[in-house]
Chains A and B, each alone.
Chain A
Amino acid sequence: MVQPLHYLKESPSQTAGPYVHIGTNPNWVEITGVWTADLGLVLVGPDTKGERIVIEGRVTDGAGAPVRDALIEIWQADAAGLHPSPEETRGAADPAFAGWGRQPVSDTDGTYRFETIRPGAVPMRDGRLQAPHITVWIVARGINLGLHTRLYFADEAAANARDPLLLRIPEPERRETLIAPRHEREGRAVFTFDIRLQGERETVFLDI
């Protein structure tokens, strides 16, 4: 017999189910008075450094129908590329930036929206620079284990062309599913990041 390694196994995932919002956004489903505000609705304040941007999109299933009960979280670096986390080892992040946001999708059309800032670039462990990106995580009824993906910015073409993760995607047309097109609205950059769970132009999901 060899000696056992004694690692524990990770608790297995289960779907968040259709009523995830009771636990994550109780005020949004009219369970009021338990806590004052749902977590994650606001990422930026008046003192946050960086360019204000809007992230929006729509979640659809393999039939192209909107997913009306999903929950989306984002996690990103501040404008200097630092994360507001005790695990950040490269310096102190902007104290006026939350870095984390959470929104339920619309229960009528599956759309979502975050107001945030454009993140700075974050290096890999080996020092290679990643293109600016936002980590996106999605759970819903019918999703057994939360899906990780990344949003990249269409107006960062040179950085995207060198990004180590994007370069790992063999099919160039699949890279496009992670690159959010840009347009302007009321003087602000708006990036559209549609999440297609399955089928035509299926979003690239990550095993990180």
Chain B
Amino acid sequence: MSGSYFQRDRDWHPPALTPTYKTSVLRSPRHALLSMPTTPSEETGPVFGHDILGPLDNDLIRNFGGDGEAIGQRIVVYGRVLDETGRPVPGALLEFWQANAGGRYRHKKEGYRAALDPNFGGCGRAITDAEGAYAFRTVKPGAYPWPNGVNDWRPAHIHFSVFGHAFAQRLVTQMYFEGDPMIWQCPIVKTIPDRAAIERLVAALDRNATIPMDSLAYKFDIVLRGRRSTPFENRMEGN
């Protein structure tokens, strides 16, 4: 049995109101958040068994459109899900979604002129193993223009949704690629105030994990909230 979850460091995460990311202006609360120690309602969460996964759920090159393969730079994305104490988080469900190699999303509201790829849907999912490890195969997404400033472009990125063991750990974030100069120009990246925090979202090119003559590899570790180890019922001083 374990204790309540560590308080979230809200100076590390992006604040709600970040006016250069324009949509945040009307979608950010004006009142302060109400603080509350986690209770069993937040210290529990849904779990998903491997039985929900199909054989191609973590292969975005082949999981849409039939027999063909997606066009683009073939990559493997892999890493581990840990908590803030450094322990692996096994059984975590990760869902990912992304644009195709040209920066085009397969979504009915999308109007970018870059072409759809008939063999690329853009969604995948995986569940971490006993060591907290996950991996998937995809094509590297292209940069993507968006109506924020008159000439704003998103860096290449893959969205991640992560379920840990508790609803308090629920997290949605984005992965960026090492060396992309557009990371440092993006109003959404720059909602994060601390450069060191941004660097946690930049996946490293890993030549040791590439598959020769097949796919490059990027390593992306994810850290979820940790929790105190020893509860003393009414005395919460145990760590």
* Chain B residues near A (Cβ < 8 Å): 1, 3-5, 7-10, 12-16, 18, 21, 23-31, 33-48, 52, 54, 56-57, 63-65, 82-86, 95-97, 105-110, 121-125, 159, 161, 165-168, 170-174, 188-189, 191-192, 197-198, 200-201, 222-226, 231, 233-234, 236
A-chain residues with CB within 8 Å of residue B198 when the two chains form the complex: 12
A147 pairs with B29, CB closer than 8 A: yes
Q: Give, as a whole number of angstroms, the nearest-CB distance from A165 to chain B.
A: 5
Contact with B along A18-58 (1 / 0, CB 8 A): 11111110100111011110010000000000000000000
- B64 contacts A13, CB within 8 Å? no
Which residue from A89, A135, A145 sits with its C-beta under 8 Å from B1? Answer: A89
Q: Which of A108-143 contact B (CB under 8 A)?
A: 122-127, 130, 133, 135, 137, 139-143
Closest CB in chain B relative to A166 CB, distance in Å: 10
Q: Find B41's partner among A127, A130, A174 (CB 8 Å cutoff).
A: A130
A9:B9 contact, CB within 8 angstroms: yes
Beyond A11-B173, A124-B40, 19 additional pairs, beta carbon < 8 A? A7-B226, A8-B83, A10-B9, A11-B171, A14-B172, A19-B109, A34-B57, A69-B109, A73-B170, A75-B167, A83-B40, A125-B233, A127-B234, A135-B167, A144-B14, A198-B27, A198-B28, A198-B29, A208-B37
Is the Cβ of A20 less than 8 Å from the Cβ of B97? yes
| Pair B233/A168 contact, Cβ less than 8 Å | no
Interface of A is mostly: loop
The answer for the CA separation of A201 and B85 in the assembled complex, in Å, is 39
Is the CB–CB distance between B200 and A12 below 8 Å?
yes
A70 to B201, CA, bound (A): 23
A-B CB contact pairs (8 Å), 15 listed: A7-B226, A10-B225, A12-B12, A14-B173, A14-B191, A22-B121, A31-B64, A31-B122, A63-B26, A127-B233, A142-B21, A145-B13, A168-B35, A198-B26, A202-B30
A208, B107: Cβ atoms closer than 8 Å = no
Q: How big is chain A's contact interface, by range? A: 35 or more
Return the chain B residue nearest A133 by Cβ. Answer: B41
Residues of B within 8 Å of A69, CB to CB, are 109
* Residues 166-208 of A at the B interface (beta carbon under 8 Å): 168-169, 174, 197-199, 202-208
> Which residues in A have their C-beta under 8 angstroms from that of B65?
33
Q: In the complex, what residues of B have CB within 8 A of residue A18's CB? A: 107, 109
Q: Which of B33, B83, B226 has the most CB of A within 10 A?
A: B33
Q: What's the Cα separation between A90 and B40 when bound, in Å?
A: 10
Interface flags for A144-155 (1: CB within 8 Å of B; 0: not) read 111110100000
CB distance from A139 to the nearest CB of B (A): 5
Residues in A neighbouring B170, C-beta threshold 8 A: 73, 137, 146
CB pair A169–B34 under 8 Å, yes or no, is yes
Partner of A11 from the list B27, B42, B52, B200 (CB cut-off 8 Å) is: B200
Interchain CB contact under 8 A, B39 and A130: yes
A144 lies within 8 A of B231 (CB): no
